[in-house]
Amino acid sequence: MLDEHGDTHVVHAFLGRRPHYRAYVSLHPSGALPRSSGRVLALLRACHPEPTVAVTVFVAVLAVGAGRGPAGSVAVVLAVLAGQLSIGWCNDAVDARRDTACRRGDKPVGTGELPRGAAAAAAGTALALCVPLSLVCGLAAGAVHLVGVAAGWAYDLRLKRTVLSPLPYAVGFASLPAFVTLGPPLSAWPAWWATTAGALLGVGAHLANVLPDIEDDLATGVRGLPQRLHRPACRRLAPVVMSAAVGVLVVGPPGAPGVMDRVLTGAAVVAAVAGTAVRSGTRSRWPFRTAIVVAGIAVAQLLLHAPDMS
């Protein structure tokens, strides 16, 4: 079990405190990679690249579809990328001891390839950049996006260990449509169905994301809502929540659902069910990757109804 302060003290790393870290493990015993290159690659691996890239691309598509224009869309992309990088690096810095204890070979901080302080400093730098980049997109839009990013940090630092663990995912995903529509030229709140679908997708992604790690989480004192529900319940609940998200995008917009709505909904339901029904090992990331697929389908549905989104 980890002590309560063992995870959270890492946030002080970029505030001037320097605990003793395990020496960086160089990746070039025979000169294959220099130290600096190995550090950069480790940072990239530690940022949770799959969700970071997926969320950034999805919001970029929404920004273009909403008419934000080239400059506005680039600003949105940079802000979202900075926010996602900060959350990913914060997560790995905070979880370093847990990842080492659980022998997570896919976590560079946990394996010692990347010092914990380097990940914390990168997280703080990305967060500092995220603030002006978000506000450049409009004060209201930027404020909403920063609330979503703050929710991600709250998850990393504390809420992941509580029954409120789905809340940061719901807030973070729900904030993204508002970040797009509150900026010019729309400058309006998104329709209720866009925000609701985002929140449901976030909860579904949370349930799918923790599936491979539930046993390790319980062994190291992490008792979020999915861990309290245990694996069988999460396997059943995740596709239900994600299917509900795409269902909202069908019934919410005005007018009767079209053929493409039905096709996309069917594809999303199949992907959501397959993600947790196919047993490919308890360590498999397949459930979360299918959640990303469902989120991509939801973005396509939002684009179909872009004129009604705000």
Domains in the chain with CATH codes: 1-161 (no CATH), 191-310 (1.20.120)
* pTM (two decimals): 0.85
More confident residue, 259 or 38: 259
Q: Tell me the torsion sign for CA atoms 91, 95, 100, 101.
A: negative
Q: What is the DSSP string of 253-291?
A: SSS---HHHHHHHHHHHHHHHHHHHS---TT--HHHHHH
> Tokens 């926010």 identify what position?
83
pLDDT digits (tens, 9 = 90+) for 143-157: 999 999 999 999 999
pLDDT at residue 34, rounded to an integer: 53
Does the pLDDT of residue 166 top 50, yes or no? yes
pLDDT cut 90: percent of the chain above it: 68
- Average of pLDDT values for 298-307? 91
pLDDT at residue 310, rounded to an integer: 79
Report how far residue 171's alpha carbon sits from residue 90's, in angstroms, rounded to the nearest whole number. 18
More confident residue, 23 or 288: 288
Report how far residue 264's alpha carbon sits from residue 256's, in angstroms, rounded to the nearest whole number. 15
Q: Give 160's pLDDT tier (boundaries 50, 70, 90).
A: very high
Tokens at 19, concatenated: 């605990």
Amino acid residing at 249? L
pLDDT at residue 279, rounded to an integer: 59
- Tell me the pLDDT of the chain averaged across its residues: 87
User: Would you give the DSSP letter of residue 204?
Assistant: H
Q: Give 169's pLDDT tier (boundaries 50, 70, 90).
A: very high
pLDDT digits (tens, 9 = 90+) for 190-215: 999 999 999 999 999 999 999 888 98
pLDDT at residue 17, rounded to an integer: 39
Q: Give 234's pLDDT tier (boundaries 50, 70, 90).
A: very high
Does the pLDDT of residue 173 top 70, yes or no? yes
pLDDT at residue 278, rounded to an integer: 64
pLDDT digits (tens, 9 = 90+) for 87-136: 999 999 999 999 898 888 889 999 999 999 999 999 999 999 999 999 99
pLDDT at residue 283, rounded to an integer: 66
Does the pLDDT of residue 37 top 80, yes or no? no
Q: Give 276's pLDDT tier (boundaries 50, 70, 90).
A: confident
Angle at 50 between CA 204 and CA 141, to 5 degrees: 70
Q: Give 223's pLDDT tier (boundaries 50, 70, 90).
A: very high
